[in-house]
Structure 1
Amino acid sequence: MTRQLDEPPLTAKIPADVDQPDKLMYGLTGRQLAILAATALASFGVFTAVRAWLPLPVVVAVVFPVVAAGVVVAVARRDGMGLDRFALAALAHGRTPKERVTATDGVAPPPGWCRMRGKLPAPLRLPARAVREDGVLELAEGGTAVLVRAGTVAFALRTASEQAALVAMFGRWLNSLDAPVQILVRARPMDLSGLACHLTDTAHELPDPALERAALDHAAFLTDLHHSRDLLVREVLIVIRDHTPAQPAPWLPGRKRQTAREAGAAVVLRRAAETERALAALGVTTEVLDADACTTALAEALSPSEPHLAETAGTGEVITTSTHDQEASR
C-alpha cells in the first residue's frame, strides 16, 4: 500500500544515547547486576564471619554499610555515568600529569646533581600532528581527516512530506558512508566587533547621507549588542576520516610513507566533496575548511575561552617583527 504525501510519516522512538547498554533484568544492566551480585557475596561473607561472635543487631549494623555502598554504586549516576566508572575516571585523572610540554623525544630526566621538587611534566600528545595547506589533518595515530563546516535547515517549518523527504535523503547519505564520520554540533562565542568596524570604516563610501547615518547607527547597535550580551552561534562540523588505522610502517622508505599519506589525503578530500554534494540536496550549505580555518577550529576546540592569534606565519614565510614589538615602538 502506498502512503499519501500529506499523511504524517512513520516515526520510531530512538534513545538519545545510542550507546546505552541493554537492560537484562528488572531494568538493570549487566554491569549493575554484577555489582549487586558482588555486593551480595561480600555481605554474606561478612555476615557469616561475624555472626558467631556478635549479636544480630550489631551484625546488621556491620553489614548494612556494605549493602548500601553496593546499591549506591550500582544505581546512582554522576554526570551521566555510573559511580564505579566515575571513580575509575577520577582515579585516572588524579594519576595523569597535569603539566605537559612539547617534547617529541620525551622529557629528559634532570641531571643527578639537580634536586627536583615534584614530578616532571609529561610530553604533550595532540591528536593531530600536522595540517596540510589543503586543510587535510595528518593524525598522530595514523591516517588523515578533513573538516567540513555545515549549515542547518528549518526542519520544523517544513510539511510532513518535506520532512520525510529530508529524512530519506539524509538517511541515504548516512547509508553511503563507508568510513568513520563524526558530526559535532557546538555553540561558540560570536564576535560582532569586526562587522561593526567594517560598517564604520565603509559608511562614508555610501552615496546617500541617510544611508551613511543608518550604517553608523547599525554599527553602534552591533557594538552595544556585543558588549551587553554573550552571543553564541551554532556551528556544525563534520569530521571525515579515511580507513587507515595506523601510521605506515616505520621501516618503509620515506617516499612510500609520503605516498601513503598523499593517497589518504586524496581519499578524504574526495569523500568531503561527496558530502558537499549529498548535503546540498538537503539545502545545507557546506564548506571544506582550508588550512587557516582548520587551525582556527582546532584552536577554539582546545581552548575556547582563551584569545588566539589573529594571523600566523605560513609555510616558508619569514617572521621579521611581532605585534608586541610594533606596539612598543609606537
Structure 2
Amino acid sequence: MAMTGFRDAQPMSVKIPADIDRPDKILYGLTLRQLTILGGTAAILLWALLTFGAVVPFPVRVGLLLPVAAGGCVLAVARRDGMSLDRFILAAAAHLRRAREQVAAGDEGVQAPPPWCRMRGRLPAPLQLPVRAVRGDGAMALAEGGTAVIVRAGTVAFGLRTPGEQAALVGVFGRWLNSLDAPVQILVQARPVDLTGLADHLTRLAPELPDPALEQAAGDHAAFLTELGAAHDLLVRQVLIVISDTTHAPQTSAGLPWPKNRRERAARDAGAAVALRRAEETVYALTALGITAEILDADACTAVLAEALSPGESQPVDNSGPDDVITAQEAHDATHA
C-alpha cells in the first residue's frame, strides 16, 4: 500500500524563473538601471525648463521636450529579444563597428598593403579564436586565460518516470549543481543525422547472417532507414557541458598557445588538472542519474569546435604529422584516398 501511494503521488512541480539573472526591483517595480535612465531623463528635462523657460514659449518647449521624455521612458522600459533596449543599442553599435572579415594572422597582425596598392574599404581584422590549443587529454587552453574541458552527455526520459523517480533525479541533479564552485556552461544542440551509413552497413552484413529470415529482416530494416532518412529531416540531440577553471589563468606571453615559462606552465597544468577532476566528478554525478557521459579527448574536442565554427560543413581529414611538409600532390592523393 505504501508503494502504491508513493507511485500515485502528484508529480513534483518547481517554478524556476526564465531569467535567473533578473536584476532586483528597487522602487515601483523598476530596477536600478531603469531608475537611472528615468532620473537622467528627468534631470535633462528640468535643466531645459530652467534654462530656456524664459526664452522659448511654452508650446514650443512641450513640442521639443516631449520626444525626449518619450525616448527616455521607452529606453528604460522597452525590451528587444529578451534584452533591455539600452543594452541592445550598445550591442548593435559594437556589432556595427566590428570588422566583417577576419583572417588568421600572427602576432604582427594583418599587414597593410604597399603604398602603391590602392585599397578600398578596411583591412580585415585578425581572427581571435576562443581556444588557443587542445592537449591530448582534452584540456583546452582558452584565449582569455584558464583551461576548459568538454563533457558530452546523453539525455534521460524524465516524463516517463514516476513522481518518486522524478524527485530523485531532481535531487541528484540539484546536488551536482550545488557542488559546482566554478562557471559551467550547458549547451544543448540539435544536429542533423544521416542514416545512410547505418543502412549501408546493414545491407553489407545481411548476407553473412546464418538464417535467411534474419537476412530478410536486416534488408527490410535497411530499406526502412533509407526511406526514413529520405522522407524526414532527422535530428539528434547532443548535450555538451563545458567545465572551466579560471583560478590558474596566467596570460600567455607572446601569444603562444602554451606558456614556455616553467612557472606559467606549472600553473596551466594545475588548472588543467582541476578542470579534468571536475569533469570526472560531473561524469560520476550524471552516471548516478542514468545518463551516459564521457570526457572528450583532443580529437573529439577538435571535431566539436570545428562543427561549432562551421556547422553543417564537412571537415577535412588531416593524416599528416606535425612536422610533415604538405604539398599539392600529397593533398590531392589524400583527397582521392
TM-score, with normalisation over the residues of structure 2? 0.85
The 5 Å alignment of 1:50-61 reads 50-61=52-63
What are the superposed Cα offsets for residues 261-297 of structure 1, whole Å, 9 maximum, x if unpaired?
A: 3333333222222221121111111011122211111
Equivalent residue letter for 1:111: P
> Which runs of structure 2 are paired with 1:146-157 in the superposition (5 Å)?
146-157=149-160
Instruction: Measure how far apart 1:94 and its partner are.
Output: 0.8
CA distance in 1, matches of 2:221, 2:146: 47
Q: Which amino acid aligns with 2:331?
A: S
Partner of 1:174: 177
1:312 aligns with 2:299: no
How far 1:245 sits from its partner (Å)? 4.6
Change (3 A) 1:314 1:135: farther
Q: Which runs of 5+ in 2 are unaligned?
A: none
Q: How much has 1:90 moved relative to structure 2? A: 0.8
Instruction: Give 1:149 deviation, angstroms.
Output: 0.6
The one of 266, 278, 302 equivalent to 2:273 is 266
Any idea what SS the aligned residue of 1:244 has?
coil
Q: Distance in 2 between matches of 1:296 and 1:258?
A: 26
1:290 to 287, 297, 309: 297
- When residues 231 and 310 of structure 1 are mapped into structure 2, their CA distance, relative to the original with a 3 A threshold, is farther
Per-residue displacement from partner, 1:78-108 (whole Å, max 9, x unpaired)? 1111111111111111111111111121112
Q: C-alpha separation between the residues in 2 aligned to 1:10 and 1:199?
A: 44
The 1:171–1:323 alpha-carbon spacing in structure 2 relative to 1, beyond 3 Å, is farther
Alpha-carbon spacing, 1:311–1:46, altered in 2? closer, same or farther (3 Å): same
Q: Once structures 1 and 2 are overlaid, which stretch shifts more, 196-205 or 120-129?
A: 196-205
- Residues 249 and 271, structure 2, Cα contact 8 Å, conserved in 1: no
Q: Give yes or no for the alignment of 1:34 onto 2:41.
A: no
- Pick from 198, 201, 220 the counterpart of residue 217 of structure 1: 220
Q: CA–CA distance in 1 between the matches of 2:266 and 2:66?
A: 65
Quick check: 2:249–2:268 contact (8 Å CA) kept in 1? Answer: no
Q: Is residue 248–residue 271 contact of structure 2 (8 Å, CA) maintained in 1?
A: no
CA gap 1:159/1:10 in 2 versus in 1, 3 angstroms: closer
How many residues in Structure 1 have an aligned counterpart in Structure 2? Answer: 324
Secondary structure at the counterpart of residue 21 of structure 1: coil
Shift of 1:226: 2.4
How far is 1:126 from its partner?
0.6
Aligned to 1:233, which of 236, 251, 275?
236
- Look up the equivalent residue of 2:311 and give its one-letter code: P
Matched, 1:21 2:23: yes
Match for residue 90 of structure 2? 88
How far residue 53 of structure 1 moved from its aligned partner, in angstroms, is 4.4
- TM-score where L is the length of structure 1: 0.86
Match of 2:140 among 119, 122, 137: 137
C-alpha distance in structure 2 between counterparts of 1:226 and 1:178, whole Å: 43
Equivalent residue letter for 2:41: T
Cα drift, residue 300 of structure 1? 1.7
Q: 1:69 aligns with which of 64, 71, 79?
A: 71
Match of 1:117 among 112, 115, 120: 120
Check the 8 A contact 2:196/2:229 in 1, yes or no. Answer: yes
CA distance in 2, matches of 1:69, 1:96: 27
Give the fraction of aligned pairs with identical amino acids, expressed as a percent.
60
Moved more, 156-165 or 28-37: 156-165
Pairwise CA RMSD of aligned residues? 2.8
Shift, 1:326, TM fit: 5.0
Instruction: Please tell me the residue identity of whatever aligns with 2:69.
Output: V
How has the CA–CA distance of structure 1 residues 232 and 315 changed in structure 2, closer, same or farther, with 3 Å as cutoff? same
**Equivalent-residue separation in structure 1 for 2:253 and 2:303 (angstroms):** 31
Deviations 1:145-201 (A, max 9, x none): 111111122222222222222222222222222333222122222222222222232
Does residue 206 in structure 1 map to residue 215 in structure 2? no
The DSSP-based 3-state class of the residue aligned with 2:330 is coil
Could you tell me whether the CA contact under 8 Å between 1:299 and 1:308 is conserved in 2? no
The residue identity in structure 2 corresponding to 1:291 is A
CA distance in 1 between counterparts of 2:132 and 2:261 reads 17
The residue aligned with 1:98 is 100
Q: Which runs of 5+ in 1 are unaligned?
A: none
